[in-house]
Amino acid sequence: MVLTEKHKELIERIGVFHEHKGMQPLVGRIIGLLLVHDEGEVSFDEIVEQLGVSKSAVSNALTFLQAKGRCVYSTRPGDRKRYFALKVSDWREDFEKELQNIAEIQKFIDEVLEVRTEKNPEFNCRMRDFSNFLCFFKQEIPALFERFKKQQA
Amino acid sequence: MVLTEKHKELIERIGVFHEHKGMQPLVGRIIGLLLVHDEGEVSFDEIVEQLGVSKSAVSNALTFLQAKGRCVYSTRPGDRKRYFALKVSDWREDFEKELQNIAEIQKFIDEVLEVRTEKNPEFNCRMRDFSNFLCFFKQEIPALFERFKKQQA
DNA sequence: TTTTTAGTTCTGTATTTGCAGAACTAACTG
DNA sequence: CAGTTAGTTCTGCAAATACAGAACTAAAAA
């Protein structure tokens, strides 16, 4: 597949978006490439060529993506190459994980509330509010997906 | 205020939690200190002493936190020191921003769908599903806060 | 068996990060 | 005014990051 300037520019922007989420630059750009690529499946070699980086860098980045469960490869009969693809099918689980992750802060809030004295009751009160909200939020997540399903039908 | 081992250990864990979110180490630990500190307000000097870091590092970290709107300082009559505190009052807005931020990926998904051909219809279909969900999700956020408010009353 | 292919692992390095320390600024104090 | 206080900005460096290139491995092909 030949990438246009528009493709390349979009890949770069998707790359920096993921960099801001803490991933290393190449990992983000590989996600971009796998998203934009027509076939959805891209060989190791093509990743190296399209992004103009070394094999070692691609190898490490793909190992990382597979470890994170964001990427898989398949093979084809009579072809030794690996074709890498994003696990787009898992977007529900992935998104749910992200939501659970931002709610992780609740654990810390609760620990903080345990060690705090009553010197600043207003502060403590707001923290308790926040903790209660996070608890409520976590409970609401499954219902959110349910409502989406209904709305789709 | 004297910090116990438990306080210090909690501050460190809150620190690494924020590091994983992309912040620099000291910024995370300052958030930890401001959370566990009894008064809620901590002077510049005390931050330097409690965390055992340089004034310059603290200055830069606090400038960052203030720019991000996560921290403010107040002053006291006849006292030139600045007392720094987290904006705990803003937790609703902050949390909403975080939710909007993870939904940001929708923009990219939509741009991706525009440049993709129909070579892999299943991939495109799943991406459209995800985009629709993200759209639905964004709409649901205000209602989420509303339901929490009602449930509280 | 030797050679090729496909990818991994190791080694080195340019760049970036995160902070320390010193110099500096601005405002207050004596 | 000179000296002190509170914090900022500048300079430099040690450590971590992100990658290139080369050496290596394992399996298939010739």
Q: How far apart are CA B21 and CA B60, in angstroms?
A: 18
Describe the strand order of the beta sheet including B42-43 as a list of residue ranges.
B42-43, B79-86, B71-76
Over residues B26-34, mean pLDDT: 98
pLDDT at B91: 94
User: Which residues on A lie below 8 Å from B119 (Cβ)?
Assistant: 38-40
| Identity of the residue in A39, A91, A130 whose CB atom sits nearest the CB atom of B130 | A91
List own/partner pairs for A70-73 with CB under 8 A and 24 or more apart.
Answer: A70/A31, A70/A94, A71/A30, A71/A34
Give percent of chain B with pLDDT exceeding 70: 100
Q: What is the DSSP string of chain A?
A: -PPPHHHHHHHHHHHHHHHHTT--HHHHHHHHHHHH-TTS-EEHHHHHHHHT--HHHHHHHHHHHHHTTSEEEEEETTEEEEEEEE-GGGHHHHHHHHHHHHHTHHHHHHHHHHH--SS-HHHHHHHHHHHHHHHHHHHHHHHHHHHHHHHH-
Estimate in Å the CA B63 to C1' C24 gap, whole number. 18
Chain A nearest C-alpha distance from B89 (Å): 7
pLDDT in tens, B45-79: 999 999 999 999 999 999 999 999 999 999 999 89
pLDDT at A29: 98
pLDDT at B153: 84
Over residues B109-114, mean pLDDT: 98
Per mean pLDDT, which range of A2-6, A28-32, B149-153 is the poorest? Answer: B149-153
Mean pLDDT of chain B: 96
Reported as type and span, the H/E element at residue B83 is strand B79-86
Give percent of chain A with pLDDT exceeding 90: 95
Q: How far apart are CA A128 and CA B91, in angstroms?
A: 11
Mean pLDDT of chain A: 96
Over residues A70-85, mean pLDDT: 95
For residue B126, pLDDT over 90 is answered with yes
pLDDT at A153: 84
| Identity of the residue in B36, B116, B129 whose CB atom sits nearest the CB atom of A116 | B36
User: Which residues on A lie below 8 Å from B126 (Cβ)?
Assistant: 88-89, 91
Please say whether the beta carbons of B110 and B76 come within 8 A: no
pLDDT in tens, A35-73: 999 999 999 999 999 999 999 999 999 999 999 999 999
> How many residues in total does chain A contain?
153
Query: Using the CB atom, is residue B54 less than 7 Å from strand C?
Result: yes
